[in-house]
Structure 1
């Protein structure tokens, strides 16, 4: 696809949280005409200064858009915003949902679309730093060819199959990651109880199969709130019998003061 031509397509981005804001900024910097909407309008200020247009409602944001991108917190938020934007979608519009809402909610949204509108479920792996760098792993279900230029600005696409399959794989990968962080946290607690230095435990854990989880525990520049991690685990445990992840879910909810902190906080 000619990226010069595609960059002239009108694009709407809805959901400017810690992930959505840097993702939208990348599209704006690449020259896409961008209209944005967020429940808290003040969060759009950095984008407006760079040339984006603020819409008052989701419907206003998508009414003239060729491509719509959503990055919303959970299934309830996705359903609520969909109820407002779906009636305003034009035939030929491509909707990319990068939220983590699970395959059931994704397929429910797809079933609500008017004729001629397509939904690509494209949840992402990676935190704020990777979103800003355009280095997200995009798990895409459905036909991504019409929006390949847009997705390329955000990261690398892994084709997962049909609609809902990207959302399904995201639950597998994110729950493995969250579970790994929880296990590192427990291992560090054990090391402390045994009188071992934390840095020694981290260094040796990092040299083994939990190296990725240790890297996440010690990462800077990431922000994946504990509350959203708990939501992702709940989506998984609502799908299958997963006793270990049920324990992880209780672990994530044990200290409500951490709900807005990065996931690594559970291993402090």
Structure 2
């Protein structure tokens, strides 16, 4: 299709997260126009009723354009590059970006959108594609409060809650802090799991005890099946986690905050990304730490809950 997108809500970016989130909106009853660089990735959305748009400029006729892409450069290209959403005469009312990008990159995009008369919300999320499919994402947004209020029902439909944290790029700072902790927790969880196993406690027993303790969380629960059965089907790669740890360290330097635990984790994840540069889940960190401990792990083949059902 070219010309005009038919729906008030447009969605750009149908990777693992984007497809899961857009699917949830369609199933919640929102009319959705979608665009993706690889057009075939829009097929599952078309099958459930979304309108597939082949021209990014057509998305400018939507009231709200939601973006979920990999990098700041990807977002800039989609909005302002050749044939981008804002390169024609039409303008959406607002752009809501849900990607994990830096606060400085997001601020630059905000300035460009402001100059084009388009409102901008930064709205990153907590959770992976599996969490999105289970309807348990948390959306955290920043920008003009009136724009957040206008799209709050849309954001809330993506998961269990949507929160407003303030003006400008504060949600980006939140996301950077969140994902830095994300890395530190998986590092610690793998270390203590190996300690317990080497002492004689089976992984599934130890992890279930952690999940039932004051330390248990949605995160420890949904990573438990991977760690127990060594199923490293990708939710988030070591390379992407390294990107986020680097953002965390840069934020620490910018704000003058000492982050020794995050620094050690960043080095560990850098090593992991060299050993596993491809499409594999970052929880493969367990194997690397086991190797360093002189351990050879085997899947326990025990059915365990991820806590998302």
Does the pair score TM above 0.5?
yes
Cα distance in 1, alignment partners of residues 71 and 92 from structure 2: 26
Instruction: Tell me whether 1:183 sits opposite 2:188 in the alignment.
Output: yes
Question: Which of residues 238, 241, 248 in structure 2 aligns to 1:229?
Answer: 241
Cα distance in 2, alignment partners of residues 176 and 23 from structure 1: 23
Contact 1:218 1:264 (C-alpha < 8 Å) held by counterparts: no
Residues 23-69 of structure 1 deviation map (CA, whole Å, 9 limit, x = unaligned): 11122223333221212221111112223232334323x22111100
Partner of 1:105: 105
Question: Which of residues 144, 149, 153 in structure 2 aligns to 1:149?
Answer: 153
Give the 5 Å matches for 1:33-44: 33-44=31-42
Cα distance in 1, alignment partners of residues 135 and 208 from structure 2: 29
Partner of 1:120: 121
Cα distance in 2, alignment partners of residues 246 and 78 from structure 1: 28
Higher mean displacement: 198-207 or 35-44 = 198-207
Higher mean displacement: 15-24 or 253-262 = 253-262
Q: CA deviation at 1:232?
A: 1.2
Question: Which of residues 71, 79, 87 in structure 1 aligns to 2:68?
Answer: 71
Partner of 2:94: 94
Q: CA deviation at 1:149?
A: 2.5
Residues 139-198 of structure 1 deviation map (CA, whole Å, 9 limit, x = unaligned): 110221111221122121111000211111111122112210111112233334445433
Q: CA deviation at 1:101?
A: 0.5
Contact 2:21 2:158 (C-alpha < 8 Å) held by counterparts: yes
TM-score (norm 2): 0.75
Cα distance in 1, alignment partners of residues 280 and 268 from structure 2: 14
What stretches of structure 2 of length at least 5 have no aligned partner?
1-5, 227-232, 254-258, 288-309
SS at match of 1:240: helix
State the aligned residue count: 260
Higher mean displacement: 156-165 or 31-40 = 31-40
Partner of 1:252: 269
The 3 A distance-change label for structure 1 pair 141 and 189 is: same
Partner of 1:80: 77
Cα distance in 1, alignment partners of residues 166 and 22 from structure 2: 25
Instruction: Tell me whether 1:129 sits opposite 2:141 in the alignment.
Output: no
Q: CA deviation at 1:97?
A: 0.5
Cα distance in 2, alignment partners of residues 227 and 96 from structure 1: 25
Contact 1:10 1:32 (C-alpha < 8 Å) held by counterparts: no
Residues 71-90 of structure 1 deviation map (CA, whole Å, 9 limit, x = unaligned): 11122322222322233474
The 3 A distance-change label for structure 1 pair 29 and 206 is: closer
The 3 A distance-change label for structure 1 pair 116 and 257 is: same
RMSD: 2.5
SS at match of 1:116: coil
Cα distance in 2, alignment partners of residues 247 and 216 from structure 1: 24
Partner of 1:13: 11
SS at match of 2:42: helix
TM-score (norm 1): 0.85
Contact 1:123 1:139 (C-alpha < 8 Å) held by counterparts: yes
The 3 A distance-change label for structure 1 pair 32 and 207 is: closer
Cα distance in 1, alignment partners of residues 100 and 19 from structure 2: 16
- Asked which structure has the greater CA Rg, the reply is 2
Instruction: Tell me whether 1:24 sits opposite 2:43 in the alignment.
Output: no
